[in-house]
Structure 1
Amino acid sequence: MSSNPSPSNSSRFEGCTLTGALSVLTEVRDAVCIIHGPAGCAHHNFSLLHATLLSNDRLDVPHLLSTRLTENDIIFGGEEALERTVARALSLSPAPASVFVLSTCIVETIGDDVAAVCAKARRVPVVSVPTAGFLGGVFETGVRNALSAVASLARPGTDITLSANLIGEKNLEYGVDENAAEIARLLGRLGIGVNLRFVRGIGTPDLGRLGSAALNVLREPALRPVGEELRGRFGTPFVDSFPTGLTGTCRFLEEVGRICGIDASAAVEEERAYQTAMLEGFADIAGSKVCFQPAHPALRADPDAKTVCAECAGALDLTVVPGGAGIPFPYPAPVGTAGLRRMLHRWRTLIREERRR
C-alpha cells in the first residue's frame, strides 16, 4: 500500500479511505452507515456525497450517523458511544436491513475494538469496515474494503445464469450510469445480461444474486484483489477492467466470449462496423492539428487515456503538434465506443474554438 502523498498520486485527489468506502456503502439503499469518529468526519463526507448526488440529479440523502466522539471518548475509549449509535441505527423507521460501521483514523489510534462491537448478535447484520487511512490508505483502499464488507453478506449462488456482475463502479464520477449502459450494450452483443451492479442502487436482499453470475466485470485493474476474493468465494471468473479504446473494446468482447464459452467473432465484427460509423460522424475534424496535455497540472496522464487518444487521433488522421488545439487527456479513460463518442464531441468543440481564434 503506497503512502506517497505526491500530487501525481491521483487517488489522493479523490478523497480519503473513508470517502472511498462511503462511495460504495451508501449505494446499499436500505443500509445505514455509522462513522465511528468525530462529528467532522461525518459532516465533511455527508456534504461531499450530498453535493455529488445533487450534481447528478439525484435527490437522495445519504443514510449516515456519527458516534460524535468527544475528548473524553478519545481518552477513555469510544466503544460505548458506538454501542449507543448502533442501537440508534436499529431503532430508525424504516429499520435498516444492514448496518456498516466505518472506523476513522482517531478510532484506530486509540484502539477501539470495532469488530468486537459489530460481532454481537442483533436482528440485522452489523458489519465492521476498516477505513482509517492514516497508515497510507487511499480512496481506492476504502473502495476495496467496502466491497469486501458488502460481499461478506452474500451467500454462494445455486443457479448460475448467463449474466455478469459489474464490480466497483466509480459512483462519484460523472457518467457512471452511461458507462454501465455501455457495458450492458456490449455484453448484450454476446447474449449476456447484467445480473447485479455491485454496488450501485441495490438493497441488502439483492446481494443474494451476487454469486449467481457467470462473470464479474471489474471497473478497473486496481480491483483485482476483490475479483480474486469473489472468485475464491463463488468461483466466478472475472475480466479485470471496463474496456477502453477502439481495439480495447473489441478485445473485451473476445475475452468475455472466451471466459463464457461464446464465439465472439460476429459480435466483434458488428462492433467494428459500429465504431467505423461512429468515427465517420467526426469527419469534419479529420486532419486537424491537436496537442494533448494533462487535465490538471499536478496529475500525470492515465496511460490508458494516452493510448486511447493516440488511437483515435490516428483513426481521424489528426496531427499531434505542440501548437495544435489543446485537448486534455481524459481522466479516467472513456469506457467503450460510447465513451469515445462523448470524448470526440469534446474534441470537436475544442478544435472549433481553436479554428475561430
Structure 2
Amino acid sequence: MARLPSSTARGRRTRSLIYIFAAVAIVVGVVVFVYRPGPPAGVEAGNPLDRNLNMPIEANAARLTANPTPAQPQPQTRDIEPTPVAETPAEPGEPDIQPAVVIPALPVVPVGGSADPKVSAMILRAADLANANRVVEARDVLNGALALTMTAQQRTYVRTQLSRISQEWLFSRSVLPEDRLCTAYRVQPGDHLTSIAARCKVPYELLMDINGIKRPELLKAGETIKVINGPFHVRIYRSTYTMDVYLQNTLVRTYNVGLGKPGHETPTGLWVVKNRMIKPRWTDPDTGRVYEPTDPDYPLGSRWIGLEGKKGAALGRDGFAIHGTNKPEEIGTNTSRGCIRLHNGDAVTVYNMLKEGLSQVEVMD
C-alpha cells in the first residue's frame, strides 16, 4: 500500500526546486549581459544613428555621397585593330545607323609602317575624352590629327572613329556643349523649315531627319530645334573608292563608292552641287532607253545629286552625279559611266547633307 510523503520530505523537495530556478536565472542573466546587442561595426557606442532617419532625403543623399564607396576598377576593353564602319544599305528614306561611340586605342606599331608618336598620342587623347563623354573635344582632336603625316592604317583608323562619333554629335537630337557646328534654335513666328535651313546652308531634309519632323509644315513657333551650321563638302579618292563628307572642315563620315569604268573614268577636279532629285527619269546615253522611277531595273537608286565641273579635268563637264544604284555589289569597283555610286541608304544620307550651289565635291587620285 502506498504511503503519503511526510512533511519533512516535502520541505526538502521545495528547497531543491528553489535552488534550481535561482541557478537558471543567474545563468540567463549572465548570457544576456555578455551577448547584449551592440552598435554596428565601426560606430562608437552611444552614437545616435537613428536621428539620420528623420533627416530630409536630400540631406541623407548628401551625407551618403560625401564619402562614397570607392568604385571597383573595371577591365578596359581595347580593340587591337580598327574596325571599319559597316556600309549596310538601308531602305530609301531611312538614315544609316552607326554603332555606339567606341574609340579603342591604336596599336603602338601599326602593320605596314611606323606609327607617328604624335598621332598615336592624339588618338589616345581622343579616346580618353570620349570615355569622359567629352565628345566634341574628342572629335576636334581626331579631326586635327588628319592634318598630320600618318600611316595609311592610322588615317583609316581616324576616319573610322570620326564616322562613328558623328552619330552622337551630329545625327542625333542632342546639342552638345561648346559645339560650334550644331546649335539649338528657337523657332520664331513666320519661320519655315526651308528658310531656317537656307540660313544654315544645309538642306531642310537634314533638319527634318535630325529633329524627327515628319512634315515641314508641322514646325511650330516656340519650338526649339537642333540646327547645323553648314555647308557640307565632299572629297572623293579614286585610288581607295572612298568618299569623305565634311561639315565645314570637320570630317563627318567616310563612305565606299563605285566609280567610272575605263574609257569613262570619273574626272578629277572640283565640282559643285548643281541640283538634287529623288529618282528622276533618266535616259541611258548608250542605248537611248528612258528609265522611269517605277521600273524594276531603274539604275539610279534612291537619290540623284547632279554635279557641275568647275576646275581641273572637271571644268566644263556636265551630266555627272552622285547617286544610288541597283547593283550594290559594284560599289568599290570601276563600272559606272563616270558617276559616283553609293549604297542607296548612304545616298539618302549624303543627299540630305549637300546643298545646291554651296556644297563642293573634289575628286582626286
Q: TM-score, normalised by structure 1?
A: 0.23
Q: TM-score, normalised by structure 2?
A: 0.23
Which structure has greater helix proportion? 1
